[in-house]
Amino acid sequence: MPLHDQAFRTNDLVPASGIYEILHAQHLLAKQVVLFKSERFPKCSRCDFPVTFLLHHGLRALDYVNHLDVRVPLLELQPIALEDSPQNADAQLREEM
């Protein structure tokens, strides 16, 4: 099965470097994140519910960055807003605009 057709979850190994879509109903997280091959998919910093990831666009060039000292693995995803529900967070974002 192609990687674009698979869903990955928190703590799975990242199968390919690239841009991944983030799905998490419990909190409003970023829509996408760049992850490196062989790292672990990050967790939500606010809860223990798994986060789901879908490969949006593979970036094989990132595989050559593996040994740089400046690269830090992403362990947790921070919610965008303080509210617990995506509906409240959307309302807060609209108010700030």
pLDDT score for 68: 60
What are the tens digits of pLDDT across the range 10-51? 999 999 999 999 999 998 999 999 998 989 999 999 999 999
Give domain limits for the chain: 3-96
What are the tens digits of pLDDT across the range 61-95? 887 775 666 667 788 888 886 554 555 555 555 55
Q: Which residue has the higher pLDDT, 36 or 4?
A: 36
pLDDT score for 42: 96
Count the helix, strand and coil residues of the chain and give each as a percent rounded to the nearest 5.
20, 25, 55
pLDDT score for 24: 94
For residues 62 and 36, give the distance between their C-alpha atoms in angstroms, rounded to a whole number: 7
Q: How far is CA 1 from CA 5, 82, 84, in A?
A: 7, 38, 35
Reported pTM: 0.74
For residues 3 and 19, give the distance between their C-alpha atoms in angstroms, rounded to a whole number: 12
For residues 40 and 50, the answer to whether their CB atoms sit within 8 Å is: no
pLDDT score for 34: 92
For residues 67 and 56, give the distance between their C-alpha atoms in angstroms, rounded to a whole number: 24
For residues 32 and 39, the answer to whether their CB atoms sit within 8 Å is: no
Task: Say which amino acid occupies 6.
Answer: Q
